[in-house]
Chains A and B, each alone.
Chain A
Amino acid sequence: MADADELLQVWSSLAPPERETWASARPGPPLDAVAARLSSVPRSFLDDDVSIAALSGDIAGVACASAAYAEDARVRRGAAIGLWLLASEELVEPFAPPLAGPWALRAVDSLALRVAPVVDPLDWLADDERREEAARTFLLWAGFVPAGEDRETARALWQARDSLRRSSALAEAYAAYEHREEIARRLAEARAKEAAARYSSE
């Protein structure tokens, strides 16, 4: 089993900064509808033998990034639940607006690599608050704010539920990983721009 630290590092390397994700989020489906759908995940999705790469291929046409870490039971279950949300639009009924879009698999990965390492996905099914956390996280990384909420409210409510923030050691590690990605991005941007004039050899 990979440790939470390692999985969070993988997530921070593939996810855009939270701030930017909030800035581009648009109104999405109601939170309750997503949470209810999440809790109705079929047992077959949670089977230990399920191949996340194959499941993701069937549902989205391509393997999600977390498939590479699916030997970890938490990652596997988290990804499976995310993939269920996507599959359910065909099997049950589409959300309004539909989840399918450019960030659908990123949302699956957010459940598998950001939430699951901190809170076991089985708890999402058993505990209302953890289920809400998973649903809010999924919507955010799919590019949505829950229907009826503005960005500020949605952000505050998500942060209040965010288990990662409440685990100080993991939160620090995650902040460092996010920071590393942000610095790398800023340095690359600055390099593309141009430096400033300098005055002497060093």
Chain B
Amino acid sequence: MSDPDGLLLGAGGEPEPAAVPDPDDPLALGEYRPGSAAVLTDAERWPTLDAEAAARLHRWRTHPAAPTWVHATGDRLTAEAVERTRRPLPLEGWLDDHLAIARRLPFYRGRAGLATLADFPPIGRADLVADVSAFVPLDADLDRLLHGTSSGSTGAALVIPDDVEEVARGFHLLVDLARRAGVEWTPDAERLALVWVLQQRQAFTYVSLISGFAHRAMARVNLDRRAWGVASDRSRFLAEADPQVISGNPTSLAELLSDDLRGVLRPLALFSGAMALSGPLRAELEAAFACPVIDVYGLHETRPIAARTDDGPFRVLDRRVLVEILDAEGRPVPEGTMGEIVVTAGENPLLPLVRYRTGDVGRLVRLADGGMGIADFEGREHTEFVTGSGVRVPSVDLTQQLQSHGALGWSVVQGASGAVAATVVGGEAERIREALERLLDQPVEVTRVERLIDLGEGKPRRFRSAVIA
């Protein structure tokens, strides 16, 4: 993945589509090769691009300390779409309209009696995996469709039709959440508006411009040391980028506490997502950066659901989202009782969901100001494995290898001795074994089972490690 000479970049700094994989990295995944998925022109990526913005883009793409950008992508917004996406979708009457749209979805064809929300049967990830098109309205504007994927906690990868304007609106949601946390986040000279940090073996990384934020730059950056030409580039790039806001998951945000980074960053706010953020990590981040840490709960399928800025309940967002808590039989439980979080989600017009089972657990509580909260949230566990030489490897690195070798679902357990036992559904067992052994430098045993249910009911844990408590 490394490219110290920058030879994989074109004249404008954009990745070259024909770049070849690093022959020294047998774990390299094709789609993470520089430029392998970048096909648009910059004018298509940012239809409102002007000379000043183009210069900004060029600067960050070709910054001498920048990592090798694996990808190029933009927000694809026309001038009209830029204006539309600044504003949240109106909420008045949304649920009635949403249910009317849902009743016409192919999934509910032939089902009578769907008069109110409670009449809709809860649906789950398996329904989307089986046929996601059954949840896309027949009259949806497919010209706005983007290809999204979600690896999910049950392992089976899910392809999701994302909406280009909904994705763009997601940025303004972050601005709004920051404002509610007391942070005025407006364009500030040439600071990067946002850096989204990852910490994994391979990742799509890119520089983009935010059309609705005065064309300020943002970047998706992999903090993994292998992503940088020389070790000092990481802190040098981030110091000069001086990001106003940093988003990531707990694993990547924790990396910001490293000695080379904590002193050079001065974010206005941090956003955490995808996995549970522990109280101690939040406290450490707040102390290190003297800014709010906003934990956002949401699934790719549902879009953001709730957020919190402390260790109390998540506040259900003031948008097209409705949260219920159901018991194992799918019946609503009394307020304050633990159960499965089930979400009716109306922000993505290409995937209007009604009563979607998240697999996460919590209880619904009334907040002091009358808003709804989710307390005692559980789910989204993240696990680290340990290599033969003692290096920690995040579970997302295993996910990439398992999926690239065709596994539909899995359970990977590392015993106290370090040995790893993987149970997989689908995929090439021998290739998976080789890939995991190479990644972890530990003995690996792979067992094939036939069905996802063989991994356990509900939302079975994909990863466990007895090496790290």
Contacts and interface: CB of A to CB of B under 8 A. Distances in A.
B106 A196 contact: no
Nearest to A177: B106
A202 B298 contact: yes
Interface stretch (B37-45, B278-286, B410-418): B37-45
Given A176-B109, A180-B131, A199 B147 contact: no
B247 A195 contact: no
A6 to B, nearest CB: 15
Given A180-B133, A202-B273, A202-B274, A187 B296 contact: no
Interface string A170-202: 001101100110111011101111111111111
Contact of B167 (A194, A198, A201): A198
Given A182-B142, A186-B142, A187-B147, A195 B73 contact: yes
A89 B131 CA distance: 43
Interface in A94-118: none
Query: What's the interface size class on B, roughly?
Result: 35 or more
Given A175-B138, A193-B40, A201 B247 contact: yes
B300 interface: yes
Interface string B248-292: 110010000000000000000001111100000000000000000
Contacts of B252: 201
With most chain B CB atoms within 10 A of its CB, the pick from A186, A195, A197 is A197
Contacts of B168: 196
A17 to B, nearest CB: 11
Contact of B109 (A172, A180, A193, A200): A172
A197 B145 contact: no
Nearest to B252: A201
A176 B150 CA distance: 24
B159 interface: yes
B76 A196 contact: yes
Given A179-B138, A192-B39, A194-B40, A200 B174 contact: yes
Contact of B73 (A173, A197, A200): A197
A186 B145 contact: yes
Main secondary structure of the interface of B (DSSP, over half): mixed
B75 interface: yes
A186 B350 CA distance: 12
Task: Find the residue from A180, A184, A192, A198 having the highest chain B CB count within 10 A.
Answer: A198
Contact of A180 (B134, B146, B247, B296): B134
Contacts of A188: 147
Given A197-B218, A198-B170, A201-B274, A187 B131 contact: no
Nearest to A175: B138
B106 A176 contact: yes
Contacts of A196: 73-76, 146, 162, 164, 167-168
Contacts of B196: 198-201
Contacts of B299: 202
Contacts of A200: 170, 174, 196, 247-248, 271, 273, 296
Contact of B161 (A172, A175, A187, A197): A187
Given A179-B136, A194-B71, A195-B148, A201 B39 contact: no
Given A172-B109, A194-B72, A199 B146 contact: no
Contacts of B136: 179, 183
B157 to A, nearest CB: 12
User: For A191, A200, A202, which residue has the most chain B Cβ atoms within 10 angstroms?
Assistant: A200
B228 interface: no
A172 B136 CA distance: 14
Interface centre among B38, B71, B136, B218, by most chain A C-beta atoms within 10 angstroms, is: B136
B365 interface: no
B75 A195 contact: no
B208 interface: yes
A52 B71 CA distance: 50
A176 B138 CA distance: 8
Given A175-B138, A190-B147, A194-B39, A199 B218 contact: yes
B293 interface: no
Contacts of A201: 196, 198, 247-249, 252, 272-275
11 contacts: A180-B133, A190-B145, A194-B71, A195-B37, A196-B168, A197-B206, A198-B167, A200-B170, A200-B273, A201-B248, A201-B275
Given A176-B109, A192-B39, A199-B247, 6 more contacts: A179-B136, A194-B39, A195-B148, A195-B162, A196-B164, A201-B272
For the complex of A and B, 4 pairs with smallest distance between CB atoms: A197-B208, A183-B133, A201-B274, A176-B106
